[in-house]
Amino acid sequence: MILPPEATPIVSSEHAHRLETALINVRELMDGPHARDRLRALLFVDEVLRHEIDAAVRDAREMRMTWQAIGNVFGMTRQSAHARWGRADEDPGD
């Protein structure tokens, strides 16, 4: 999914650098002949993206973004977003 420019969030240089480094590091493995190396490369990218998504959700909550709004971004309900990223003591309705 590609977001329109007005919906594209500003990404800090630290987070952008981390993603760029991950992609550069896996390029050689992705182009290699071995399926095992491609799988390892994709697993690494998946781990980096999961970490970045978790950090972005934490940042969004600190900026008072609702679970409904976060869920909308990911195509899920607010309850599902809260279940995935929320704390047990936090109300999914906010």
Evaluate whether residue 10 is within a structural domain.
no
Evaluate whether residue 86 is within a structural domain.
yes
Considering the domain architecture, whether residues 55 and 73 belong to the same structural domain is answered as no
DSSP state of 10: P
Considering the domain architecture, whether residues 39 and 59 belong to the same structural domain is answered as yes
pTM of the model: 0.70
Considering the domain architecture, whether residues 71 and 32 belong to the same structural domain is answered as no
Cα–Cα distance for residue pair 94/67, rounded to 1 Å: 6
Query: 8-42: per-residue pLDDT in tens?
Result: 555 567 778 877 877 777 777 777 788 888 888 88
Q: Which domain holds residue 76?
A: 65-94
> 52 with 15: CB under 8 angstroms?
yes
Query: 42-75: per-residue pLDDT in tens?
Result: 888 888 889 989 999 999 999 999 999 999 999 9
Instruction: Specify the pLDDT at position 50.
Output: 92
Instruction: Specify the pLDDT at position 27.
Output: 79
Considering the domain architecture, whether residues 59 and 74 belong to the same structural domain is answered as no
Considering the domain architecture, whether residues 46 and 71 belong to the same structural domain is answered as no
